[in-house]
Amino acid sequence: MSSLTSAQTATSHQDLDAHLHRYGQQARAASRVLARATTNDKNAALKAIYQAIESGTARILTANQLDMQAGRDRSLEAALLDRLELTPARIDGMLAGLNDVIGLADPVGTITDLSYRPSGIQLGKMRVPLGVVGMIYESRPNVTLEAASLALKSGNAIILRGGSEAFHSNQAIAACISEGLASSGLPAAAVQVIDTADRAAVGLLITMTEFVDVIVPRGGKNLIERISREAKVPVIKHLDGNCHVYVDAEADLAKALPICINAKTHRYGVCNAMETLLVNQSVAAEFLPQAAQAYQEKGVELRGCERTQAILSGINAATEQDWYEEYLAPILAIKIVEDLDAAISHINQYGSHHTDAIVTENYTLSRRFLNEVDSSSVMVNASTRFADGFEYGLGAEIGISTDKIHARGPVGLEGLTSQKWIVLGNGEIRQ
Amino acid sequence: MSSLTSAQTATSHQDLDAHLHRYGQQARAASRVLARATTNDKNAALKAIYQAIESGTARILTANQLDMQAGRDRSLEAALLDRLELTPARIDGMLAGLNDVIGLADPVGTITDLSYRPSGIQLGKMRVPLGVVGMIYESRPNVTLEAASLALKSGNAIILRGGSEAFHSNQAIAACISEGLASSGLPAAAVQVIDTADRAAVGLLITMTEFVDVIVPRGGKNLIERISREAKVPVIKHLDGNCHVYVDAEADLAKALPICINAKTHRYGVCNAMETLLVNQSVAAEFLPQAAQAYQEKGVELRGCERTQAILSGINAATEQDWYEEYLAPILAIKIVEDLDAAISHINQYGSHHTDAIVTENYTLSRRFLNEVDSSSVMVNASTRFADGFEYGLGAEIGISTDKIHARGPVGLEGLTSQKWIVLGNGEIRQ
């Protein structure tokens, strides 16, 4: 009996392997067609998808109700159900996002730096699609359309693997995308949504180096860590956002206060929210009571170092662990630091290299902060909340990278492309 | 006895682990100092290293003789011994290369695209070092200096792991580099050469994601495949160069002939040499006999498809395997193709996405070739041999990437850097 089970498992693994292999082969073939599609071709397909989603709204909402019911039956927590739910307004939002992508400039084919070398050849760089993107994500079904539209616009095929809790919603959105692709003449395999709930599919997708050029995971830290650990395909990943604001001795406190309040309280559950406030010792006694009052009005729990506690009596102590924490909640750690060097050291040691800001009027210190803080976004006199694709003008973003390789920070269309060298000659040969 | 041995192994693994950990920690600390070093600081260190190598030439040559003797004792093959050997002329070559790196523009700190967003923030990108580079290479001890100088110039710390056959040479060069670093005030740990011959060190180096930001392997295909398979740190890798020249129906044969001869025969053992020649059916009867004569004068063995054999009687048949082959030898596969589409399909299917060229006077076909061939370098009317860092004006190259992620094609200083976003504000907050 046990040997029979093991044989069955082997067969089913082989089946799954062959199944994923087909996705990969079809995506690779579609990517060749997409790579030579014109901007007009791609926009026409995106517009056809827009129409299909618009006229398929009822079907998508019905499918989503199946997922919602299954989620309630499985007692998914309220936050997860909220992320899972689609409403007519949310579908309008998805369509508006798709419209934005249609309006974005197409990076593919852009040629830069075309100049002559001493040998006589003219050398430049051409922006080209990566090829096939593998996207692994949880709960939010709107990601299906968002990721597909960014991949298409940048000339990439995409294989999508959503969470099982959003299975019906994702399949319904995928059906609309296929319909749009079919009517536009681009290959249907340009966008494929994996139709098996088998979790082993993820393990296969992230190791198919011959068919997949990059993996973009979106979801909880556990998912992303597991994918990073097991992937053979390069991963554009976003781990965490432990962001800082440093209020310098020469800060204009009239700028510092709104920045610090905005960075912490504009939204709590986002990766670019401030989690630790660093304050120069020379302005702490003046600044911290004002800031604390504003935070307490918003219901933010403060946790301070000893010197902070001496100024803000009654607040909790921050432990060593607090400096590492991404709260994603109305909690703020506060530390008084001696100078810029101490602030930079703290950020580079405890931070997550995501987004960090200084508030200062000092020219030299602002430049040092920009140069020396090792984060994907470094800011002077601005709220960390600006670190996202929309604010940076990328349009939508496929993710925010906390890696240094390839793409760093918000990743839009350009992050889904690469550059190849082009050489224009007139019969030159190497001497 | 067996349990004792196993305990000893465990201890030695722990020791090695701790040893590599120290390299990593020291490199990470040094990388922070290097990241804020000015171009002048870095050039001063490179000049001090130049002096130390120059005055240490005798020591380096003596150390190299130890490696050469050991290599002869181990009956290393002649080609390997040749690559291992250092001579005064080769050291002069290394110094000239170092001088070139000193003369290169420093990419670090370059700020581009600084422009205002609707929110009022000014957004741009700053080029920054990757951090810590891990370099794994075989035989050629000159790579030790070359890689170290490129890493330093681009503000990165580097951990070098050379082949055991070059152990003494690499240590002697490393000693000169340390001497130069010490006299210049940059941290000695900016360049570290792993001093253990234990092969397990490579396995540790390529998985220390907390300390190493990128791995650059240089060596045989086996080494590179193993590293790619086992690495957790991102790898900039060069696998193989199966390069093509396609002679189009509208080729100017007076350009085609020298390009085809140069691409194949200028050097045989290089990755940018042509391995398969594709000829349009309409010019094959005219072009191939001329080309064959020139190749046969150079002693190049030709292997043709059936139609090629019908024109060039007496040459060997090319098998399916030949289309995949990177000969690195005086052998050339020849295939007659129907049209541009067939040529592009062949290249994208059998090639290694390294470097491919078309010879044509046709404007539209040249643009299609540039757009549709999926290789790191695509060329019109020029020899594939131009695809390298020196010809492309990068100065030295740390490697040639056959990947699409991060860096593609020849990788120079810029490939060892990343870009972070910078935001210059005046108190802006997110609405």
Structure tokens at B416: 């060892």
- Whether residue A6 has pLDDT greater than 70: no
Q: Is the predicted pLDDT of residue B213 greater than 70, yes or no?
A: yes
CB contact under 8 A, A372 and B35: yes
Taking an 8 Å cut-off on Cβ atoms, the answer to whether A383 and B429 are in contact is yes
Chain B residues whose CB is inside 8 A of the A371 CB are 35-36, 109, 126
Show residues of chain B in contact with A401, CB under 8 Å. Answer: none
The answer to whether residue B7 scores a pLDDT higher than 50 is no
**Is residue A131 scored above 70 in pLDDT?**
yes
Q: Judge whether B139 and B165 are in contact, CB under 8 Å.
A: yes
Q: At A84, is the pLDDT very low, low, confident or very high (cuts 50, 70, 90)?
A: very high
Helix (H, G, I), strand (E, B) or coil at B278: strand
Show the CA angle centred on residue A116, arms to residues B390 and B240, nearest 5°.
Answer: 40
Tell me, what's the pLDDT at A140?
87
**Structure tokens given for A89:** 């307004």
For the stretch A357-388, pLDDT in tens is 999 999 999 999 999 999 999 999 999 999 99
Mean predicted confidence (pLDDT) in B312-319: 96
- B427 to A229: CB separation less than 8 angstroms, yes or no: no
The 8-class DSSP code of residue B224 comes to H
Residue-level pLDDT at A267: 95
Question: Which two structure tokens, joined as six digits, stand for A313?
Answer: 């009596």
* Residue B1: pLDDT over 60: no
Per-residue pLDDT at A11 exceeds 90: no
pLDDT above 60 (res A80): yes
Q: Is the per-residue pLDDT at A198 higher than 90?
A: no
* Torsion angles phi and psi, residue B3, rounded to 5: -70, -35
Tell me the mean pLDDT in the region B167-196. Answer: 94
Average pLDDT, chain B: 93
How much is the pLDDT for A219? Answer: 83
Confidence of residue B343 (pLDDT cuts 50, 70, 90): very high
Residue A315 DSSP one-character state: P
Q: What is the mean pLDDT of chain A?
A: 93
Amino acid identity at B416: L
Mean pLDDT value across residues A249-278: 97
| Residue A109, pLDDT above cutoff 50 | yes
The beta-carbon neighbor of A380 closest among B232, B261, B425 is B425
Give residue for tokens 């403060």: A302
B420, B424, B426: which to substitute to probe chain A, counting the most A Cβ within 10 Å? Answer: B420
Lookup: tokens for B21 = 């950990």
Give yes or no for residue A99 having a pLDDT over 80: yes
Say what the pLDDT of residue A395 is. 78
Taking the C-alpha atoms of residue B427 and residue B425, their distance in angstroms, rounded to an integer, is 6
**How confident is the model over B71-77, as a mean pLDDT?**
94
pLDDT band at B11 (very low <50, low <70, confident <90, very high): low
pLDDT for B162 beyond 90:
yes
Residue B221: the pLDDT is 83
Closest Cβ–Cβ partner in B258, B381, B405 for A406:
B405
Check whether B205 has a pLDDT greater than 50. yes
Unique residue bearing structure tokens 């002069």: B92
Q: Is the pLDDT of residue A344 over 90?
A: yes
Beta bridge partners of A157: A132
Under 8 Å CB-to-CB from A103, ≥6 apart: which residues?
A395
- In A354-393, the residues whose Cβ lies within 8 Å of chain B are 357, 368, 370-372, 374-383, 385-387, 391-393
pLDDT band, residue B5 (cuts 50/70/90): very low
Predicted confidence (pLDDT) at residue A3 exceeds the cutoff of 70: no
More confident residue, A10 or B415: B415
Lowest-pLDDT range, A17-31, A272-286, B162-176, B192-206? B192-206
Please give the pLDDT value at position B177: 97
B254 touches chain A (CB under 8 A): yes
> In terms of pLDDT, which residue wins out, B338 or A395?
B338
Residue A315: phi and psi, rounded to 5, are -85, 160
Q: Chain B: nearest CA to A183, how far in angstroms?
A: 24
